[in-house]
Each structure stands twice: as structure tokens, then as C-alpha cells.
Structure 1
Amino acid sequence: MSPATTQGAGAGVGPGGNPPSKARKPRRRRSGWARFLTWFGLAVVALLALGAAGVAYLYATIDIPEPNPASQAQISTVYFADGKTEMGRLTGGTNRENVPLSTVPDHVQKAFLAAEDRSFYSNNGVSPSGIARAIKVSLEGGATQGGSTITQQYVKNTFLTSDQTIQRKLKEIIISVKLDQQRSKDQILEDYLNTIYFGRSASGIQTASKAYFGKDVSQLTPAEGALLASVIRGPSIYDPSRSAANLTRSKERVSWILDAMVELGWLTTQQRSQAVYPTVAKAKPIEITGGTNGYLVDLAKKELVSRAKLDEDDIAKGGLRIVTTVDQKYQEAMIEAIADRGAAEDIEGAQTGMSAVEPGTGAIKALYGGTDFAKRPYNNAVDAHLSAGSTFKAYTLVGALQNGYSTRSRVSGSSPYQVPGTSDEIENEFNQQYGWIDLRQAAADSVNTAFVRLNNAITPAATKKAAVDAGIPDNTKVNVEENLTNTLGTATPSVLDNTNGYATIAAEGKRATPHIIASVKSTDGEVDYTASTSTTQAIDRDVAVDVTEALTHPITEGTASYAQRVRRPAAGKTGTAEDHKEVWFIGYVPQLAAGCAIYKPSEDGRTNVPLGRNVGGYKYCVPIWTQFMRTVMDGVEEKDFPERVGVNDDSRKNIGTRPRSTSTSSPDGSSDSTRTPGTSETSRPSATATSSAPEPSDAPTQGTPTGPSEPTQSAVPTRTARQQPTAPAPPSPSQAVGATTAAGTG
């Protein structure tokens, strides 16, 4: 190869046959910091891309969930009949009472915005700067807290948990944005104010207003609103009643909020100068409604299920506004009458139950179940089933008129009465003797043997039917048996049962169901209930009218003569159960029926023990009833009962045959035999002594009130007592007798 060729090859080809390399500049190596920035930038871009995609994914997949049940639960409030006066609250719900935003004063709303979210009406439900602060704290290892708008706070309290994690915070942000798009700002603010917790067991601004200031939210001042806005930051450190340090912190924050409102143009300088630090009420724990109101609230709660047909979930959710039929004036009058005239001071352990029912509607106007529901949640007017005594004779009168008898029909009142075919005997109180008397006089003097003879004539089934028709429950608790002595009150109705039975007679035979709830509404509108006041013509009108006239006689001339002090037409019947274990009086005026019973439970509560031999229905129950009726009827139009119809007068039947005796003129002008007028509830007469009917007296006696001078009742004409002939045999065999002595007396 020539040199030329060799040179050319050498110039164009390098070692190993490769082209020769060109001369290169040496490379500058990048520092580690530059490489880090490059990779960090790429990472940020990637994260932003991933973050945007992730946020988009989360936004698409996260829906607004159903609210937490606890966040929606409210307290249910029970009111007296005026719908304004609070009676008590049902336990079991959250102490919350939702209110519309329109009832919250504007200056109170602005106090919360100044304290929590000044851009509320302009932001999109979240605060970017607040979110940045929260993320920074989280990256530094702290909890994700702070930086929340009002919308975010509402979302956290209503839809989420209080977990302080990134995941929960992301859900909070996304739901807040969605919520802001779907609801108006006013609705979100209303929901927030009704949800936020204020301490003192108060959730929502309405209950907080009552807890801290004892007033409705609509009455809050700017300073009071600022205090409530401050306390939500932490009730344990801002409730001024807890400590001096709390008071100092509270004053500083209230001042800060009010100053901010001025800066934002939400409060004038003059208003600010007038906004002094408010007086805060002492914190009170939420307790079960006690006292006498507790029995009413408990009865209303039970009626929510039995009549309003609400289930336990409806009641637990709360938010119910329950208006009762109970008139506060009537309730206070009943409590006062029992305190003034009752047996508690005279008979240790005596219990009183009383109720008042409006004839024709069944509305419970007042009810006394005991002194304190919190200490003894046993309702004397509803839970106690007491031997009815002679109050049951009213139903036998109904049965008699339904079976061909008249209230002028006559029957022997001699004592004892031997039940045919048995060795059983039934006596009058103190074995007192009566003659050939009509049914009105038998009611006036509460003559046991006369009513047992009558009951045998019409059959005990007729008395039971009349009682059940009137409203006495036919169940095992009441146990209205078909035996001869059911007329003497062997059945055990509650005071409310028996009062309602008399209310049926007072309403001219129209039976209504007794009820304590007038209406129920829920704040969410899902519950809207109004009680029915429909009636059933359970007893013929004319029969009821004549029975009412007959029941005026115990007051005008018999065992309940003290009730004349009510000074208006009234009817009623006393009752004293066997051995004086339970005593009664149930009476009515045309507009109202009321019943009272007194009993004394044994130490183990299984039975009742005698109240005392001299204690009858006349002694305490009649004065209690009289004082109550006089108070509640004061100023109410006086009405007369309908005139007596005279059912079956034309075909009047008597029971048995008339005994041979000396005749005198009876009060209604018809012939009557001699008798000893009844005083079985006022004194213990001799079986042959001459006596007169009890007269009202203003002289103070045990269990009898002292009052202004009252008109004295004219005595029933005295009739000479004589040996009574043996009672005639009844027209039909008796059914089984429930007792051999008086099961019930006057």
C-alpha cells in the first residue's frame, strides 16, 4: 500500500477500522441540588396531575351522606293546653329544638359569622387559606384542625365523625363544596345554628338560649348572641359560670366579636357601646320531669304510642311539640285542693289520686298522680286500681232504667239482706235500717241492701253492661264481675276510668275516650296529629238525664252534702270500700266531671290497709272536690242539668212487695214508709235512733275546710225508725255473692 493510501486511511479510520473521533469539549457535571430540583419539579407536576385526578375521582364518587341520627335528634317538649306554657320534656332525645333562621335575630347571626366565618356568604363552602393551614399542620405531624368554614363545621357535625385525619378532612371539603352548590346559604346557616353544640347539654341555638339566658332565641341581644358565638369554641373554657378564668376568657372573646361586627359594618358604634357583657344563668342539669307534672308528661309519652300511633323511633328522634288538654289553672287548683283538704297530714302513708275530664270530649283537664314522679313514678290516678265502693251504684241505676225501672221505683232498705239459697248476708253501713224508699233516696243515703236487691232484680250483668257502656274497661285489671255485689264496687277501676264513666252520664250518655294529648307536631313536619273528640251514644240520653237527677240527691240531702258549697247544680256519689281501705267521691257539673280517691298501700305495696273506721268518701274526697270545683268554675257560666225525663215512671216497677209500715209523705209527694235517714258517712247512728240527713257546717273539723258562711241545708224530714220486716224474697235467684258484708258503702 502506498503512503498516500495509508495516510488517507489513517485519517479517516481509527483503530480497529472505526472512523477517527472528533475532538470534544469536556462535560460540566450538574450539582446534586440541581438534580434534586429537577426531580422535585417533575414529582410536583406528577402529584398535581395525580392530585387533580384524585380530587376529580373523589368528587365524582363521594355523595352527601344521610345525616347522623344524633345530629338530627331533638328534645320533645310537652305544653299545657295554651300551647305556650312548658309542662316538661321527654327524656331520651338530644336537648335540641330546631328553629327557622327567621326567628334568630340578624345581629345574632352576624355574631356567629364574625366569630367563625366572615366570608360565609361569598365563599364556596371552603376556605383555601384555611385548608392550606390545616395541611401544613398535618405535614408537621399535628392534627388536622382549624381552618373550617361554617359549612365545613356543619358537614363535620352532621355527616361525618370527629376523626382528625387527612381522609376525613378531604371528605369534609368535598361534601362542603357539594353542599354549598345544592343548598342556599341561609339554609346552611339555619342548619348549622340548629346543630352546633353549646355545652350545658344544649344542642342548637334555641336550647342554648334557654340554657344560658332563660329566654327564647328571638329575644337575644347582640351581647348575648356574641357570648353564644364564643362558647362554641369550647364550652369547657368559655362557659363563664365554670371558673374565674373562663369568665375572663369569655369577656375577651365577646368583646373581640362585637368589635369585629363594628369593623364589618354589622353593628353601629352606638350599639356597640350599649352591648355590655350579659348576665348568664346558672347551669342546670337536665333531669326527668318530677313533681306533679312528671305524671302528666309520662302519661303523654305513653299516649304518643297508644293514640298518636308513634313508634319508639319517632319518639327517640324527638323534635315533637306536644300540646296537652291539661289546663294549668285546673291543675294548680287540683294540687292546692289536695294540699289543703287531703288526708296526708292525718293519715301517714295515705295516697291521693284525682282526675278531671270534660264531658263530651274526654279531654283530661287536670290529673293528680302523686307528689313527685321522680321519687314515686306510680300514678295514683291511672296505675292504682281501687275497689270502687258505692260509686258503682251509679251504673246500677243506669242498668235499672234500662230494664224497666224508674228512679221513683221503690225497694226495701232493711238490713241485713240474706241472699236466698245461701247463708250470706249483706248489711248496710253500721247495719242501719231504712224503709220502703225510692232509688233516688237509696242513692242519697247509699243504702247497700236496697242496691243489692235492685241488682238482683235487674241481674248483675245489667250493672256490668252499664259500667262498661259508660267507659269502665272490661279487663282483668278492673275485673267487673257479674256477681250480686258488683253494685257495691268490687270492681277496681282507676280514678281516671271511673271519672270518665261519670263524665259519660254527665254528657247525657255520650261516651268519649279520655285523652291527655290535644295535638302533636314535629319540627320536620312528618308528624301532625290532632286528637279525636268523637263520642258514642253509649247510654240512652233520657236514661242518663234521669240518673243525673238521681245523683243530685247525695249532694242535696245525702252523704255528699258538703258539696253544696260549690253553689251550682252538681251531681255525684261517694264511695267507701270494704274495711275503709279506699274512699271516693266522683261528681260533676254540666261542664266538668272530677273524681278523687284516697287509699293507703301496705309496706310491701301488695295490698291496701284500712284508712280508719271514721274515714269515708265524705271526709276528705268531698271537700277536695268542692274546693277544686269552686276554683275552676269561678267565672264560668252556671248551667243547669236537663230536666228529669221520668223514664218508666208511667209503668213504674218496684222491687219486691211493700213492707207493712206506717206511711208518711215522701219529698216527691208519694207515699213512703218510715225509715231512718242515712248518715252512714257522717256519724255512726243507732239502728233505731231518730236522725236527720247531714247538713253542711262551717265549723272546722278534721279534714273539713273552714270557710265563709254557707247556706245551711234543710234537714230531710225526720221519720221515726221502727223494726223493719224481713226483706221480701227477690223475684229471681241470686248469682254468686262476692262478699258477705258491705263491699262498698256510701
Structure 2
Amino acid sequence: MAKRPRPISRPPRTKSRKKSKVKWRLFSWIVTVGLFTAVVGGSLLAFAVSVTQIPTPKEVARAQTTIVMWADGEKEIGRFGEYNRTDVDLERVPPHVQAAVLAAEDRGFYNHSGFSIQGFTRALISNIFSGTRVGGSTITQQYAKLAFLTQEKSIIRKARELVLAIKLESVDSKEEILEAYLNTAYFGRGAYGIQAASRTYFGLDVSQISVSQGAALAALLQAPSAIEKIENRERWLNRWDYVISGMTQVNAISETDAKSLTFPESITYTSTNKFGGTNGYLLYSIREEMLERGYTEDDLNLRGLRVVSTFEEQAQTGMVDAVTEEAPTSKTEGLRIGIASIRPGTGEVVALYGGPDYVTEPLNNATQAIAQAGSTFKTFALAAAFEQGIALDTVWNGDSPRTFGDYTLNNYSKKSFGQITLLQATESSVNTVYVDVASTIGKNKVFDATLRAGIPADAVGMVNDITLVLGTASPHVIDVASSYATFAARGIYAKPTMIKEIYGKNDGLLFQISPETKRAFTAQVADEVSYALQQVINVGTGVRAKAIGRPAAGKTGTTDGNKSAWFAGYTPQLATAVMMVKQDEKGNPISLAGTGGMKSVTGGSFPALMWTAYMKAAHEGLPVVQFAPPTGVLPINTAPAIPDPDETFIPVVIPTPEISITPIPTPTPTPTPSPTLTVTITETPTPSPTPTPTVTVTVTATPTPSPTTS
């Protein structure tokens, strides 16, 4: 039989056979890739789990705290929240407290293997597609998150948490994980761990915490710093209800017991020693600025941030030493001293003295305390006069008394200076000339110049009146330092800041300073102000500041009844303000007279001495920088005549007049005359061995019944 010939080609395949082949190949590839991925992924996961170290609760809690560094970024000033923490064994934590925490944060804790698939998937999808943070983390995952301390919303972060969660569940028992969490979790008020929280909120050992109190503590875990605030009490109460409800669902308490519970009252919160000493004011100020910049309390206490401050250790040490060495040592009961030093042009606060110890004296004398500024405000009227074309060599009537509208004023000892220049009036603080200047250019001009320099509009006593030139307002020390820094920077105002950089624990650089500046005065005006204030130090009321040994400008200020004394001044590199006030046991201002053995404490005495001692220390190693010469002003009284640095300060000396006044009451429309205005002339000492008694002149002027303001 003949062989059948082989076909030249195969019969065509059907479409169904082609599709089946393609599907099979695709399936094979999927299975292969899937198995490969599973093997590799599993191997990587197993390796990651094996090499991952489990941090101790102490390590985790310490890593959560915010570290504040000196300006060099190398040395640490202090931390937020690291001290208020005490470990306890799980056996000491009552079962109902454990149940409350689980009801609040992880009701399936004893049933899962470390993470919730549903919660993990939901959070992952939300982070990838919407960028929104959602809950759902188990207690094991929360502990892992605290260990890694990053706020990034990414797959990598979730993967890292997952690895540590698996490691925890494979190595530690559920009880050990819960114990670690309870000793690590942040409850607000600087309390890390359930024991510290129990003492902070209720003054009890954790073993004594009731069901109601335990539920209240557990309710804080969702957002501790926000929930515990007084204004958010309703939010705390609602969360407490949620916890109590959860405890009934898991049969930790009965429905009947739950209905009988009431929300507990917490004790008054007091600060811990984390802010102790003079550096406590620095830490507090940094904390306040971070909150103003949008960071939350939880950010400060949980994210492990690293803050590089603007505070310079050399300057800060010099400031504390200046107070220690130059402040009065006798009759100092109720004495408050505040100092602030700012870098012109950037607003960086390089040093701050808020008091001797933040824990015992929490009021920050540099940023919170206030006092009438006295003659330091004449500087702003001087700038306003220059803007209106009035020069230092213009001649004014320095007679006394003189009447301006509703006010009749006198100079020191009713002395009439006759015709004097504006520069001479500045050196001698001639009251009648400065009120004349304010009246001539208009009170609005003086008020506006004061604001532009840096004094806030809401400062106590900031009234648009011609008497503002005499310092009736009561600003903060840091505001006066900032306003004088404006002139040191040749007319550039820079908003004060105490933070240079902020870094996240694992997030890198989060914030970097960018000076907020604006031109407040022309360079010519600022230069003329600096020139005039240099003469105050050369031959006027601030002569003791010449011991700084380099060009400096400044102004003294003393107020009615000797209730406050100021010295504010600057070099081209630093601007610093010093304030002294005294209070009685009730916090009312009292006279500084007698403090340190002086009959009258003026701005040219202790404040000027502290200013000088600090500025010498802060400028150590810095080049001597000259002020820009003013345009069209002839040098007057520029002889150096620097006092011997070793010269002993004699409290009782021949005085040079320094003008100060009481606050001017704001007139109100009424047929009854407004309170009288009292003007007191105080004296500023200059070196001399011959004592002269203090002379005080009080002049009364009754305003018209219904004055108008503009």
C-alpha cells in the first residue's frame, strides 16, 4: 500500500485552541511570579523579622520626647516630657484598667496575631490614595509605631510596623506586649505610662485607680493633649462613654455597674522638673512658639522631634552671669528681672532671662511680665520727628512748666533749659521738649512709629495720646528689645523667633527659619536715631553702659513711684532690653526704692550694669562694628571716656535727671472731671562721690470733661 503523503502544512488551529494556550501560559506566568514573589517576599520578611531589635519601653518613651538644642545644633538644652514616667508590672495594673485600655484601643487584642488585616488594609488604602490617616492599628502596631516615630504616610512605614509587630508577637507574650504598651503610651500632661498618668490625673498609684478613673485614662489615648484640656471636657466625656460601653460589650463590667458610674474629677495639674532652672524659660518659650506654628502637644511629646533653637550658649551663660553678678542682693523680696537679646535683621532671640527658676517662678519675666517703659519710648518719637524733617540740631523750648492742651508738665526740679537742641533734650530727657515734639508732629505719627518699630498695638497702655512719648504703655521686655533691634538693623523690623530648624525623628528637616522682615524706617532715619542714642551713653543717663568698650546706643527708663526701671540698647550686632520691677505678696507693683541699698533705682543703675555685663560677654570674640554715620549731622559729644572696668559702683551719687510718669487714665465722656495726671521727675545716677538727695516734683492737670481722640 502506498504511503499517504504528509500534508504540506498543519491544518489551521481553531480560535478556541489559541485562547486556551494563551490563558494557560498567562496562568503559568502568574503562578510562577506569584510563587517567586511569595518565596522572595517571605524570605525578606523572615530576614527582616529576625534582624529587627525590639526596643524596651524605656527606649521607646525616651525617643518620643522632643529634644531642644543650642543654636550650634550640637549641645542639648533639654527635653520635653522625659522625666514623668515610672515602669510598673502588669500585675499592679487592675484588671478593670487593663480592660478599659483594650476597650478603647484594641478589643480583639487577645484574638489577633499582632495586626488587623482589615484595619491594616483600610489604613494602607487611605494613606496611598487619600493621604488621610485613619485608625485601626492594634496595640501591638501602636507600640511598633512609637518605636519608629515617623509621621510619613507610606507603604514603607506600614511595612516596618508590620515587621516589628510580627517580631513582638513571635517573641513576647500578649501580657508582655500589653505591659510594654501601658508603660510607654502617652496620656497627656507630660505623663508617659499608666503609672505616671494615674499620679498626674488622680494623685493615686495605678493599683488604686477605680473603674471610672481607669476608663477616663483610657479615653485619653486617642488624642491625649487635646482631650484633657478644659475646653475639650465634653470630648473627653464622650470618649469615656465609648470606653465604658466597650467594657460592657466584652463583659468587663455589667450594664448595671456601667449605669452607676460617673465621670471622675482629675486633680489640678502642676508642672514637673523638666523646666527647672533658668533654662526652663527657654524650653517653655520654644514650646509656645512651636504651638503657635501649628504643632500640637502630641507632636511635641510623641514624635521625637529635634529642635535647633536660636539660643546661643555663650550669650545665655553671659546673661545669667550678668544677673548673678550685677543684680541687687539686698531688699530683693518680690523683685523680678527680665532680659531679652535679639539679633538685628533676623529676629533671632540669642538669649533670654525669664527668672531664676521656671518651676518656682513660672511667669516668664522676658515674654509675659509687663511694666511701664518710661523714657525708652522717647526713641519712637525721635524717629517720627526725623521722618517729618525735624533734625537733631533744631532748637526747642525747654522751659518748665509748659501746657499742652489739657496737660501742664514740668521738667526735673522745675528747671527751665531755655532754648536747646533736640539732641540735648534727648541726652537730658527733657520732658517738655519731647511732649512738644509729639504735639508738633501729631500724636498719630508717634503712635504709628511706635507700632512700626515693634511694640504691639495690644500692649497694655498703648493709647494714641501725646503722653505715649513718656512711656505710659507697659510692653513685654522682648517687645522692647525687638523694637530697638529695628533701629540697630537700620530700619528693618524682624519678627522675633526662637527656632532655627525642626527635624523629625525619621522625617528629616521639617522646618527652617525664614526671617519675617519688613522695612519700618528708612536707613537715614534709623541712623540718626542710633547717633542720638549713642550720645545718651556717651554723656547722658546711660553713661555706665560705656564700659562695653565698643560703639553702642541706648536709653534708660524709670517710671512713676520708682515701680520699674529699664535699660534698652544695642550695637550693630545685638539689641538687648533689661527690666526690673517689684511686687508685693499679692502681685501688685511696689517701689524699687531701697533695693540694693539705693534710694532710687533708675534705668541707669542696676539695669544698665546688667546690660553692660551681658553685652560684653555676648560680644566676646566678635569684631567691633561701627554704626553707619548719620546724614548731615555733625558729631557732638563723641569722646570715648570709657569708665575703668574695675571701677566700683557707688549706689548714692550725683544724679542726672531722668523723667518718668504714671499711666495716663483714658478719659471717658462724663460731666465729672477725669483723674488727674501726675508727672514725676526721677533721677539717674552718674559717677560722682558726692551724694545729692532725690528731688520729686508733682504737677496736677485736670483734663476737660469730655475730650475727643483721633
- The alignment's TM-score, normalised by the length of structure 1, stands at 0.56
**TM-aligned CA distance change 1:465 to 1:744, over 3 Å:** farther
Map Cα deviations across residues 527-549 of structure 1 (whole Å, 9 max, x no partner). 71122213101111110111111
Partner Cα separation in structure 1 for residue 310 and residue 114 of structure 2:
49
State the identity %: 31
Q: Distance in 2 between matches of 1:467 and 1:409?
A: 22
The reply to whether residue 300 of structure 1 matches residue 286 of structure 2 is yes
Q: Report which stretch shifted further, 620-629 or 313-322.
A: 313-322
1:80 and 1:327 in contact (8 A); partners too: yes
CA distance in 2, matches of 1:608, 1:85: 40
Alignment partner of 1:394 is 2:379: yes
Distance 1:191 1:499 in 2: 55
- The equivalent position to 1:462 in structure 2, one of 439, 445, 462, is 445
**Residues 103-127 of structure 1: per-residue CA shift (max 9 Å, x gap):** xxxxxxxxxxxxxxxxxxxxxxxxx
Matched-pair contact (CA < 8 Å) for 2:114–2:165: no
1:291 lines up with 2:232 in the alignment: no
Deviations 1:97-151 (CA, angstroms, capped at 9, x unpaired): xxxxxxxxxxxxxxxxxxxxxxxxxxxxxxxxxxxxxxxxxxxxxx99xxxxxxx
What one-letter code is carried by the residue in structure 1 that aligns with 2:649? T
1:381 pairs with one of 331, 350, 366 = 366
Tell me the residue number matched to 1:471.
454
The 2-side partners of 1:331 and 1:190 are apart by 48
Other-structure match for 2:295: 310
**From 638, 644, 664, the counterpart of 2:630:** 644
Question: Which residue in 2 is equivalent to 1:619?
Answer: 605
Residue 570 of structure 1 deviates from its aligned partner by 0.5
Q: Which amino acid aligns with 1:447?
A: V
Q: Per the alignment, in what secondary structure is the counterpart of residue 112 of structure 2? A: helix
Q: Per-residue deviation at 1:86?
A: 1.8
Does residue 87 in structure 1 map to residue 77 in structure 2?
Answer: yes
Q: What is the CA-CA distance between 1:410 and the residue it aligns to?
A: 1.8
Q: Alignment RMSD, CA only?
A: 4.4
Deviations 1:558-611 (A, max 9, x none): 111111111111001011111211100011110000110100012211334343
Equivalents in 2 of 1:607, 1:346: separation in Å? Answer: 15
| Shift in Å, 1:432 | 3.8
Equivalent of residue 188 in structure 1, options 158, 164, 189 = 164
Q: Is the 2:547–2:642 Cα contact (8 Å) retained in structure 1?
A: no
Change (3 A) 1:185 1:363: closer
SS in structure 2 at match of 1:575: strand
- Which residue is 2:511 aligned to? 529
Pairing 1:374-453 to 2, within 5 Å after superposition: 374-420=359-405, 422=406, 424-453=407-436
Quick one: distance in 2 between partners of 1:191 and 1:460? 72
Q: What letter is aligned with 1:446?
A: S
**DSSP-derived class of the 1:288 partner:** helix
The 10-residue stretch of structure 1 (448-457 or 69-78) with the greater mean CA deviation from structure 2? 69-78
What is the CA-CA distance between 1:196 and the residue it aligns to? 8.4
Question: Aligned partners of 1:592 and 1:197: how far apart in 2?
Answer: 53
Q: Does 1:607 align with 2:589?
A: yes
Q: Secondary structure at the match of 2:558?
A: strand
Change in Cα spacing, 1:388 to 1:439, as seen in structure 2 (3 Å) is same
Tell me how far 1:358 sits from its aligned partner.
0.2
Give TM-score scaled by structure 2 length.
0.58
**What is the Cα deviation at residue 491 of structure 1?**
0.8
2:545 aligned counterpart, secondary structure: helix
Identify the match of residue 462 of structure 2 among 475, 480, 499: 480
CA distance in 1, matches of 2:167, 2:373: 54
1:739 corresponds to:
677
1:169 Cα deviation from its structure 2 partner: 4.4
Label 1:170 to 1:343 Cα distance change in 2 as closer, same or farther (>3 A).
Answer: same
Note if contact 1:425-1:741 (Cα within 8 Å) is conserved in structure 2: no
Q: Equivalent residue for 2:66?
A: 76
Q: CA shift at 1:501, angstroms?
A: 0.3
Match of 1:516 among 480, 498, 504: 498
Is 1:172 aligned with 2:148?
Answer: no
CA distance in 1, matches of 2:283, 2:451: 28
| 2:677 aligned partner, one-letter code | A
Q: Following the alignment from structure 2 to structure 1, what is the Cα–Cα distance between the partners of residues 360 and 567?
A: 27
For the 8 Å contact 2:272–2:359, the answer to whether it is kept is no
Is residue 2:614 matched to residue 1:628? yes
Alignment check: 8 A CA contact 2:456 2:479 kept: yes
Equivalent AA in structure 1 for residue 607 of structure 2: C
* CA distance in structure 2 between the aligned counterparts of 1:198 and 1:739, rounded to whole angstroms: 68
**Per-residue deviation, 1:484:** 2.0
Separation in 2 of the partners of 1:744 and 1:498? 21
Task: Tell me by how many angstroms 1:616 deviates.
Answer: 0.5
Name 1:497's counterpart in structure 2: 479
Distance in 2 (CA, whole Å) between partners of 1:430 and 1:638 is: 40
Structure 1 184/490 Cα, relative in aligned 2: closer, same or farther at 3 Å? closer
Contact 1:561 1:694 in 2 (8 A): no
Within 1, Cα distance between the matches of 2:166 and 2:463?
Answer: 60
Q: How does 1:348-363 map to 2 (within 5 A)?
A: 348-363=333-348
Give the structure 2 partner of residue 328 of structure 1. 313
Quickly say closer, same or farther: Cα 1:542–1:745, change in 2 above 3 A: farther
- Determine the C-alpha separation between the residues in 2 that align with 1:174 and 1:668: 79
Distance in 1 of aligned mates of 2:619 and 2:567? 18
- Would you say the 8 A contact 2:411–2:681 is kept in 1? no
Could you tell me whether the CA contact under 8 Å between 1:479 and 1:491 is conserved in 2?
yes
Question: 1:91 aligns to what SS in structure 2?
Answer: coil
Question: 2:113·2:166 contact (CA, 8 Å) conserved in 1?
Answer: no
Which piece of structure 1 moves more, 297-306 or 466-475?
297-306
Q: Which runs of 5+ in 2 are unaligned?
A: 1-56, 92-97, 121-140, 145-155, 186-270, 657-673, 685-710
Aligned pair count reads 465
2:675 and 2:319 map into 1 onto residues whose CA distance is: 37
Query: Structure 2 vs 1, CA of residues 738 and 449 (structure 1 numbering), >3 Å: closer, same or farther?
Result: farther
Flag the 1:455–1:526 CA change in 2: closer, same or farther, 3 A: same
Structure 1: runs of 5+ lacking an equivalent:
1-68, 97-142, 145-156, 205-284, 650-665, 670-692, 705-715, 717-735
Alignment of 1:215-226 (within 5 A): none
CA contact (8 A) 1:599 1:611 kept: no
Deviation at 1:419, TM superposition (A): 2.8
Give the Cα–Cα distance (whole angstroms) in 2 for the partners of residues 379 and 616 of structure 1. 22
Q: How many Å separate the matches in 2 of 1:634 and 1:737? A: 50
| Distance change (3 Å), C-alpha of 1:319 and 1:581 | same
Letter in 2 for 1:701: F
- Does the aligned pair in 2 maintain the 1:388–1:491 contact within 8 Å? yes
Amino acid corresponding to residue 288 of structure 1 in structure 2: K
Tell me which residue corresponds to 1:588: 570
